[in-house]
Structure 1
Amino acid sequence: MKNWLQKVLVSTVAVLTLGFITPSHAIWENLLEHSGNHKTQLSKQSSNTENYINTVYNDNDIEDTEVFSDNVLDQAKEQAYMKFGSKIGPKISDEFDNVIFPKIEEAIHMTLDNVDQANMKNLAITEKPSGAYSEKMFHIYNVASGKDVIRFHVRTENRPFDGYYYNFHYHTYVDQFASHNNLGEIYWSKDTPPKWLS
C-alpha cells in the first residue's frame, strides 16, 4: 500500500508540474513516514480528551496526588474564565484570582483529601460551564460512576439600591449537594451584568 501511494504521489506531482519537478524518492518516504507519526500522535491526543478534560488518570497507581491536584486546579481556572467570557472576565479577574480562587483551591484540596487513591484516577472536571444566567462553573465528577463529587457555582444577585454581585459557592456529595458553602462575592455594578459566556 505504501509503495502504491508513493507511486501515485510521484506521478501526480510530475503531471501537475509538467515534468519540471522530479521528486526524489527520499522526499516521499520522509513525507509518508512523518504523516504516519503525525496520525499516531493525533490519535493519542484524541483518545486522551474524549468527553472530558484530560485530568483523568488511567494509571493503576497514582502516587503523586499533588500533580493531580495541580492539574485539576489549572483546568478549574480555565473553566471559570471560560464561563466569565470576554465581557465579565477582565473586570473581575483580579478579585477572582486573589480572593475567590484561593478558596476554590482550598475546597478542592479538602475534597480530594477525602477521596481514596482508587477513585482518584476516575476523577475529571466538566468542560462546559453554563451560559445565560445559570450558576454552573464546573463540577468535579467520577467518570466511572458519572456522579459529581463537588460542584462550583456562581450566582448573580441583584440587591436593591446596592447593585449586582456575583456570589461564588460550592456544594459537595457529603450532604447530597444541599448546603451552600460560601466562597465569597464580587461586586459587579448597578447595571445589569452581561450573560455568562459572552
Structure 2
Amino acid sequence: MQIIDTPLFDVKLIRPRRFGDDRGWFAEMFNTQAFAANGLPAQFVQDNQSFSAKGVLRGLHYQLERPQGKLVRCLSGHIWDVAVDLRRESPDFGKWAAFDLKPLNDAGELELLWIPEGFAHGFLVLSETAEVLYKTTDLYHPLGERCVKWDDPTLAIPWPLEGITPSISGKDALGKTFAEADLP
C-alpha cells in the first residue's frame, strides 16, 4: 500500500497494490495494521455509498461536535473530489485541494482519498453516473451537520462544470458562505 502526501496537510492518496492474472485482480483496500502503521485511522464505524448522475454536486459537507474522517473511493464513473481544511490551527486553514477519482486512475492504479476530521468534503460527478463509497470514523450526527456553499467566493473553487449548471440538493442550496459558516 502506497501512502502519498497531497497539497493539503494530513490529506492522503492511498494506492493499494493490485494482484492480477487472466481471471481478474484482487486488492486489499483496508488493513487495520497497515493503516495504523502509516498514521491513518485503524477503525471506521460507518460505510456510506452514493449513486449520482452527471452534474450532481454534493457538498461541501462537514459535522460539528462529532466530525467524521472519510476514506473515499470511486467505485464507478469519475468524480472531482474536493477537501477544504476547516481546522483553524492548521497551516492550510481555508485552503482546498481537488482530486480526480475513478475506479482506476489514468495509470491503472487504485486510489482512495483519506480526508481527516476537520475538513469539508464534496464532489462533482463528471461521468454519466458515478458510485462513491466512503468509510467514516464517526457516525452521522444530524444536529452537527453543516454545509459550506459549493460556489463560495472566498474559496473560489474552479469546479470543472464545462458549461453545465450543477444539480445540488435543497439542503446544500442552504449552505453558508465560508465567512458565515459555523466552523469547528
Q: TM-score under structure 2 normalisation? A: 0.23
Q: State which structure, 1 or 2, has the greater radius of gyration over its C-alpha atoms.
A: 1
Higher strand proportion: 2
Higher relative contact order (CA 8 A, sep 6+): 2
Between Structure 1 and Structure 2, which shows a larger proportion of helix residues?
A: 1
